[in-house]
Amino acid sequence: MKAALKDYTMLWRAALAISHRRTNFMLCCMGTLLGAAVGALALFKTGSMLDALTNAVRGAYVVLAFGWLMYFIPGAMKLNTPANAVLVPRMRRRLRELTVLVWCSAVAISSLMAVGSPLPVHYVFLGTGFWLVAMALGRSGNTVGKCLLFVLPMFPWLYSMMSPALRMLLAAAPVLGVAALLMLALAAYTLDVMFPQGGDRHYTVQAKQKLMTDQMTVDGQFKQARTQWLGAWAYQAVLRRDTAGRRGGALLMHLLGPATHWTQRHLALLALVPVAAVVMAVLRHYASADTLEVISRGSWLFAASAMLVQLFDYEGRSMRLVHTRGEQVLVRLAPGMPGSAAAFNRKLGWRLLHAALLEWACIGFVAVAVVAITGASSATLWMEAFICCLTLPLVASNLRDHAHRSGTTGWWIALGLVASLVVSFFTAVLLESAFDTPVLPVAALVSVALAAAAVTLRWRRLVAAPHAFPVGRLA
């Protein structure tokens, strides 16, 4: 037993050691902030210190537990190599045992955390188990796992549309037992996919796992991807226009490649509006009035989730500035580019800020338009507009010292968004208790003020920084 625990400890550390060295620090910061925010909101709502502490622990647990799990799963799969199998004959068995132990611990603790909360314990048990299995299966390159990762978040929406009789049927003990058995069977299949044993299949599966896990890293997920023909046509048209017009500032954005150019994101987002219109036209013809009412009331939540797309856009732009070091030196030699560091940083910073504002406006327009298409009330439309304002501080994310590159900018962007949300809602709740003002509109106004302050401060830092495209030494 002691030898097994020693092996588990060694494998856990080795799996997490593959991630970035600042991962634990960032997870602890995000867990502390989220726990403090949830606890403060619970304290203002109920006035009970016990409820505040309980909810704070729940918020911190969600970030820490699932953050570590998302790093442990790909790290454990990378350890299952033929070379390691020769050096440590029991490694595959220990990795499987440790994965099962980690899964069972996460499911058990999550279920205990749900006791006393509005969430049913059995749904938390099944939801956590299926999510962990789907995440591991998807990161192994399995198509079923990728589909499950897309389908599982839609279950709460489907559950809200069900009739009370069907909800009671799903909560029955036989149905829950069948679901638990299905989860165990899927977990057993996932273990075989995650940790194959020898042969050509091992190398084939491991190649897929490496591709998936590399894409999940901070660097890998933002490498230049293949652009579809429509996006490539739009990008090439804009590139020809900017080249013919000798638009130096616009050409700076082409340095980052088609994947992070504004044409790609705008085309993909704007296409959602006609698609939503067609879907709602079909639903109005076939669906019941109750179903349409549920969709119109809940559409704001799904539209608001689109605002998080900015996190990936801004982080992708920062990482592309890291991956295009060879081209950056050539850009400095192009005609029309300012020679001094301050002037060049201003030019680059303005283009980055301009692109960020355009993307925020496009995403906000699409979110409000989709909510309006579903037939939501004017109050819901205003609520969606206020939610869009909550993410406005993200537009300052790319205004940074690009001469000193960092591999953890994504964590800082997410941490900055969480911090701005905490400050906005904390200020709004204080003003509500003092002056009886509405929470969400005030939080939106505070976010706008925070965005203006962040842009001002980071702009000054960008201008005072060294040249954004430093010249490296020749090999």
Beta strands in 217-358 (DSSP E): none
90's tokens: 């029991």
Which has the closest alpha carbon to 370: 280, 265, 263, 268?
A: 280
Instruction: Give the separation between CA 84 and CA 100, rounded to whole angstroms.
Output: 20
Residue with tokens 């954005």: 253
Give just the sign of the alpha carbon dihedral 392, 398, 400, 406: positive
Per-residue pLDDT tens, the chain, 475 aa: give them.
Answer: 677 788 788 888 877 775 555 667 777 777 887 788 778 877 777 778 888 888 888 888 888 888 788 788 888 887 877 666 666 667 788 888 889 998 999 999 988 888 888 788 888 888 888 888 888 887 776 777 777 777 777 777 667 666 777 778 877 888 888 988 999 999 898 888 888 775 445 556 666 666 655 555 544 444 545 556 566 777 777 778 777 777 777 777 777 777 667 777 777 778 888 888 888 888 888 777 777 777 787 777 777 777 777 766 777 777 777 666 666 666 666 666 777 888 888 888 888 898 889 889 988 999 899 899 988 888 889 999 999 999 999 899 888 887 776 554 556 777 788 889 889 999 999 999 888 899 999 999 999 999 999 999 999 998 888 888 766 544 4
Q: How far apart are CA 410 and CA 416, in angstroms?
A: 10
Q: Where are the beta strands (DSSP E) in 297-410?
A: none
Q: How far apart are CA 218 and CA 222, in angstroms?
A: 7
CA distances from 228 to 234, 258, 259, 346 (A): 10, 10, 10, 32
What is the per-residue pLDDT across 121-133, written as a single tens digit (0 to 9) for each?
888 888 888 888 8
Q: Which of 267, 262, 259 is nearest to 249 (CA)?
A: 262
For 407, list phi and psi in degrees, rounded to 5. -90, 5
Q: Answer yes or no: are the C-beta atoms of 32 and 62 closer than 8 Å.
A: no
Q: Do 136 and 209 meet the contact criterion of CB atoms below 8 Å apart? A: no
- The tokens describing 274, both together, are 């006609």
Q: How far apart are the first and last CA of the chain?
A: 53
- Rounded to whole angstroms, the Cα distance separating 339 from 32 reads 44
Q: Scanning the structure block, which residue is given the tokens 């839609």? A: 154
φ/ψ of 129, rounded to 5, equals -65, -45
Cα–Cα dist 62/421, whole Å: 17
d(CA 382, CA 385): 5
**DSSP-based three-state secondary structure for 424:** helix
Q: What is the pLDDT of residues 256-310, one digit of tens each?
A: 777 667 777 777 778 888 888 888 888 888 777 777 777 787 777 777 777 777 7
Q: Give per-residue burial for 84-111: e unless 16+ CB within 10 Å, then b.
A: ebeebeebbebbbbbbeebbeebbeebb
Element (H, E) at 54: helix 49-79
Distance in angstroms (rounded) separating the CA atoms of residues 365 and 195:
45
pTM exceeds 0.85 for this model: no
Cβ atoms of 187 and 133 within 8 Å: the answer is: yes
Q: Which two tokens stand for residue 129?
A: 């188990």
- Domain residue ranges in the chain: 2-217, 234-464
Q: Which uninterrupted H or E stretch holds 48?
A: none
Using N-to-C axis directions, what is the helix angle for 121-139 and 199-216, rounded to 10°?
Answer: 110
